[in-house]
C-alpha cells in the first residue's frame, strides 16, 4: 500500500506492507475471529506472500485445509494507492498468479462437504473457471438445506454484456442473503430506484438484503422483518480497505448465530468501523469481545 495520496504508481514512492489481503480472505478471517466456524477455497504460491496469508488465516482460526500451494506461480497481489477523493488505483496480479489456478481439489470438496453455508464474493469472478467451483459448492450445500450469501462487488460494466448479466442473475437466483454496497443494489436488480430494486429482489426469492451505506450506516430489508436501519459509528478513518468485507462477515456470522437483524447490523457496523481505524486490509479485523467493548464505549447497546 502506498503511503502517499495521489494518482497511480508512475513515480517511485514509499510503500508499506506486505499485508495479508484479498476480499474473500478478509471476509473469512472476520468470520473466524467473531466466532464462526469457517474455511476458504483458494490457492497461493510457494513464496513468502503465500505463507503470510495462510499463517494469518490459520492463526485467526480459519480452516486452511483447502488452500492449495501452486508451484511455479506467485501468490496473487495488489498494489493500492488512494487518490485525494478517496478513490483507489490498483495494480493487480490475480489471473496469472496462483489464485488463477484455484480448482476443485479433494481438500476443497471435503471442506464444502462440511459446510452449511457458502459465501460468494463478486471479486472472485476474475479467477478463470471459478464458476464451476461455485456451482458445485452451492449445489452441494443447498441440497442439504444450507444457505448462500453473495457480496456482488459488481460494476455496471460487468453486467452490460449477456454473460455478465447472466452470471449475476444466476447468483441472485440462489442467494439467501445479498450484501450490496451503494449502486450495486440497483445494478443487481436492474432497477432505477432503491425501493424498486428491493421489491424486485425480494420477489425473486432473496431472503434478506443488507445495504452497506458507508458513513450513513446500513439497512436490512426482508419480508420477515421489513426495513431495519442502523446508524454508523463515528471513527477516525485511517484505511477503509476491507471495511465492507468485515461488515458482511460480522452480519452473516451474527445472523447464523441466531441474532435478529437489528443486533447483527450493530455488530456489522462496529466491525466495519473498527477496520478503518487500522492501516492494512486485515489489521482491524475484530473479535467478539473487541466488538462488545467498542459498542459499549460508543454508548450503544446490543439489541437482543
Which residues, 6 or more positions from 151, have their beta carbon under 8 angstroms from its beta carbon? 23, 27, 119, 120, 121, 122, 179, 180, 244, 245, 248
Which residues, 6 or more positions from 9, have their beta carbon under 8 angstroms from its beta carbon? 2, 79, 81, 89, 91
Residue recorded with cell 513468502: 48
**HSE-up of residue 288 (Cα within 13 Å, Cβ side):** 11
d(CA 280, CA 18) in angstroms, rounded, equals: 9
pLDDT at 164: 58
Find the length of the chain: 304
Tell me the pTM.
Answer: 0.92
In this prediction, the residues of the chain whose per-residue pLDDT falls under 50 are 157-159, 304
pLDDT at 155: 54
3-state secondary structure of 49: helix
CA dihedral 89, 188, 150, 108 (to 10 degrees): -80
Cβ 218 vs Cβ 211: under 8 Å = yes
pLDDT at 211: 96
pLDDT at 154: 65
Cβ 180 vs Cβ 212: under 8 Å = yes
Beta strand spans in the chain (E): 42-45, 67-70, 77-82, 88-93, 117-121, 147-151, 177-178, 208-212, 218-222, 226-230
pLDDT at 30: 97
3-state secondary structure of 304: coil
pLDDT at 165: 65
pLDDT at 162: 53
Sign (positive or negative) of CA dihedral 197, 199, 204, 210: positive
pLDDT, tens digit (0-9, with 9 covering 90-100), for 44-100:
999 999 999 999 999 999 999 999 999 999 999 999 999 998 888 989 888 889 998
Cβ 255 vs Cβ 177: under 8 Å = yes
C-alpha cell read off for 299 = 454508548
Which residues, 6 or more positions from 254, have their beta carbon under 8 angstroms from its beta carbon? 34, 263, 264, 267, 268
37 phi and psi, to 5 degrees?
-90, 120
Which residues, 6 or more positions from 287, have their beta carbon under 8 angstroms from its beta carbon? 33, 34
Amino acid at each position: 500500500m502506498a503511503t502517499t495520496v495521489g494518482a497511480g504508481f508512475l513515480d517511485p514512492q514509499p510503500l508499506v506492507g506486505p499485508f495479508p489481503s484479498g476480499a474473500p480472505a478478509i471476509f473469512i478471517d472476520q468470520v473466524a475471529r467473531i466466532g464462526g466456524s469457517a474455511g476458504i477455497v483458494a490457492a497461493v504460491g510457494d513464496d513468502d506472500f503465500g505463507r503470510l496469508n495462510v499463517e494469518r488465516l490459520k492463526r485467526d482460526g480459519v480452516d486452511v485445509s483447502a488452500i492449495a500451494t501452486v508451484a511455479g506461480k506467485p501468490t496473487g497481489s495488489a498494489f493500492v494507492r488512494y487518490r485525494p477523493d478517496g478513490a483507489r488505483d490498483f495494480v493487480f496480479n490475480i489471473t496469472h498468479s496462483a489464485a488463477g489456478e484455484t480448482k476443485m481439489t479433494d481438500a476443497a470438496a471435503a471442506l464444502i462437504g462440511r459446510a452449511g453455508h457458502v459465501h460468494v464474493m463478486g471479486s472472485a469472478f476474475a479467477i478463470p473457471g471459478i464458476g464451476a467451483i461455485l456451482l458445485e459448492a452451492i449445489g452441494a450445500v443447498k441440497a442439504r438445506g444450507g444457505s448462500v450469501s453473495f457480496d456482488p462487488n459488481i460494476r455496471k460494466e460487468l453486467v452490460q454484456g449477456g454473460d455478465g448479466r447472466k452470471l449475476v442473475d444466476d447468483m441472485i437466483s440462489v442467494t439467501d442473503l445479498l450484501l450490496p454496497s451503494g449502486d450495486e443494489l440497483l445494478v443487481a436488480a436492474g432497477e432505477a430506484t432503491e425501493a424498486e430494486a428491493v421489491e424486485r429482489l425480494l420477489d425473486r426469492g432473496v431472503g434478506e438484503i443488507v445495504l452497506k451505506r458507508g458513513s450513513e450506516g446500513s439497512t436490512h430489508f426482508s419480508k420477515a422483518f421489513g426495513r431495519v436501519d442502523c446508524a454508523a459509528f463515528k471513527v477516525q478513518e485511517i484505511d477503509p480497505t476491507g471495511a465492507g468485507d468485515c461488515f458482511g462477515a460480522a452480519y452473516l456470522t451474527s445472523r447464523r448465530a441466531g441474532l435478529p437483524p437489528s443486533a447483527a447490523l450493530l455488530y456489522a457496523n462496529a466491525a466495519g468501523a473498527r477496520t478503518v481505524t487500522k492501516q492494512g486490509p486485515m489489521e482491524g479485523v475484530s473479535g467478539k469481545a473487541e466488538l462488545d467493548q467498542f459498542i459499549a464505549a460508543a454508548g450503544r447497546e446490543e439489541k437482543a
